[in-house]
Structure 1
Amino acid sequence: MNIYIARHGETKWNIEGRMQGFKNSDLTQRGIGDARSLGESLKDIDFDCIYSSPLGRALDTAKYIRQDDNTKIILDDSLKELNLGLWEGMTHEEIKEKYPIQYNNFREHPESFESQGGESFLELIKRVEKGLNNIIKDENHENILIVTHTCVIKAISIIVKGNDVKDFWNLPFINNTSLTILEVINKEIKVLLEADVSHLKQ
């Protein structure tokens, strides 16, 4: 089984530097165009199904990637972005001013991050791991597309590589509509491609 994992396209809050989390912000025209470009680059792959975060920015991206195909889109709550609680909708500058210690932990010491009414990174990883295990249970699938968010993709990387929470923000950077590909053989998972954006250069 091959699992293709894409981050959603650029949103209005991305441009404004606002935290999104469980709250949604619509795709920009660039976000829509980039999603379509990714879809064009994947058009020759026959996906058995598409798993998407139910948040609008991810679901819309999934639809633009799918284009006119009728591949089934399955909404999966385990693929939602990290719940950022009180930070959602706030700009990075506002958070740095109001919650300097936890903002620094969020960026530099994720193992020590304490969310203001949301999730910790460890809680996210546990949620994502459970969801990923459910997805790979169906061994009849050959190609699956997942459309989700930065922190979910980072959590998957932690799970697959066996890294620690402190390594959460290790490179590569997860750009909008970037593509990661996993290969699953006998439930063993290997990274084939990570955070690729070559479709944006076409």
Structure 2
Amino acid sequence: MKIYLTRHGKTEWNEAGKLQGQKDSALVEDGINNAKKLNKRLKNITFGCIYSSPLKRAFDTACYIRGEKDTPIVIKDSIKEMNFGSWEGVHHSIIKEEYTKDYDYFWNKPHLYEAKSGEGFNELIERVKRALTEIINETKSESILIVTHTVVIKAIYAIIEERTLDTFWDLPFIHDTSLTIIEVHEDRYTITLRADTTHLK
């Protein structure tokens, strides 16, 4: 079985420098175009289904990637973005100024980060781990697509590669509509393509 994994397209808040989390903003033209480019790249692959985060930016991206096909899109609440609590909808510069230590820990020392509101990293990883198990167990197809978010994708890398929290943000960088491919054999996961963006060039 193969899991094709991508991040939603670029949004208004991405361009504005605001942290989104479980709040939402619309795809911008560049985000829509990148999703359409991924559609072209994946046009010859038959997905049994597409799993999407319930957030509109992910669902809309899933629709653009699906294009004219009739592949069912399954909304999966457990693959929505990390809950950033009071930081959601706030510009990065304001968060950095008002929560200097927490912001530094979040991005540079995630093993020391303690969420004052929203989710912590360990909580997110456990949620994503359960989601992956559920998806694998309920899927009968050879190939599926998951459309989700940066921190969820990073959590999937951490789970598969058994990363410690201090290495959570290690490369690869997760560009919008980048493509990761994971091969699943019984209980073994292997990442065979890592956040690839050749379709955007």
* TMscore range, shorter length: over 0.9
State the TM-score, normalized to the length of structure 2. Answer: 0.98
SS in 2 for 1:117: coil
Cα distance change of structure 1 residues 188 and 10 upon mapping to structure 2, 3 Å threshold: same
Tell me the TM-score normalised to structure 1 length. 0.98
The aligned runs of 1:33-72 (5 Å cut-off) are: 33-72=33-72
Answering whether residue 192 of structure 2 is matched by residue 192 of structure 1, we say: yes
For 1:114 and 1:18, the matched residues in 2 are separated by: 21
- Corresponding residue for residue 105 of structure 2: 105
1:93-172 matches, within 5 Å, as 93-138=93-138, 140-172=140-172
Paired residues for 1:16-31 under 5 Å: 16-31=16-31
Q: Displacement of 1:114 after TM fit?
A: 1.9
The separation in 2 between residues aligned to 1:123 and 1:68, in whole angstroms, is: 37
Deviation per residue, 1:164-185 (Å, 9 max, x gap):
1111100010001001000001
Shift of 1:35: 0.2
> 2:91 is aligned with what amino acid?
T
| Equivalent residues, number | 201
CA contact (8 A) 1:87 1:116 kept: no
1:187 deviation in Å? 2.0
The one-letter amino acid paired with 1:106 is: F
Give the letter for the 1:200 counterpart.
L
- Structure 2 residue aligned with 1:79: 79
- 1:84-111 deviation line (CA, Å, top 9, x unaligned): 0000011110001100000000111111
Stretches of structure 2 that go unaligned for 5 or more consecutive residues are none
2: CA distance between counterparts of 1:129 and 1:75? 17
CA distance in 1, matches of 2:168, 2:177: 19
CA distance in 2, matches of 1:114, 1:48: 39
Distance (Å, rounded) in 2 between the aligned partners of 1:192 and 1:111: 27
Query: How high is the sequence identity, in percent, across the aligned residues?
Result: 51
Greater than 6 Å deviation, 4+ residue runs = none
Tell me: CA distance 1:139–1:146, structure 2 relative to 1, closer, same or farther (3 Å). closer
